[in-house]
């Protein structure tokens, strides 16, 4: 079994240009963790292309071998630093970890 770790953010941006800029900063910071944190099997950050209503703006989709690996990733200093970027723009956050 593996763990799919998914995090979504609603951004503070008030314009599509600002939302794009925030998304690109988040994508760069978090995808930069690939190859840095050994527990990551895959990690991508994508933008919602169907922004209507209360939909979230950005999603992180990542895969780990175990919950222990997710916890090691979360505590890793590189993740703590990179995590400051979405925190600086997010007005809401949701997370789910599922086995597959």
From the list 97, 19, 15, 91, the residue with the least C-alpha distance to 60 is 97
Predicted confidence at residue 49, as pLDDT, reads 92
- In this prediction, residue 59 has a pLDDT band, given cuts at 50, 70 and 90, of very high
Summarised one tens digit per residue, pLDDT across range 1-55 is 999 999 999 999 999 999 999 999 999 999 999 999 999 999 999 999 987 788 9
What is the three-class DSSP state of 71?
Answer: helix
Predicted confidence at residue 85, as pLDDT, reads 98
């Amino acid at each position: 079994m593996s763990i799919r770790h998914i995090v979504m953010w609603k951004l503070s941006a008030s314009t599509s240009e600002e939302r794009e800029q925030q998304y690109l900063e988040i994508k760069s910071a978090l995808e930069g963790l690939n190859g840095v944190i050994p527990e990551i099997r895959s990690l991508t950050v994508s933008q919602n292309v169907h922004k209507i209503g209360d939909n979230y703006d950005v999603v992180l989709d990542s895969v780990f071998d175990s919950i222990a690996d997710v916890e090691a990733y979360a505590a890793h200093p590189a993740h703590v630093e990179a995590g400051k970027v979405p925190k600086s723009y997010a007005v809401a956050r949701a997370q789910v970890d599922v086995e597959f």
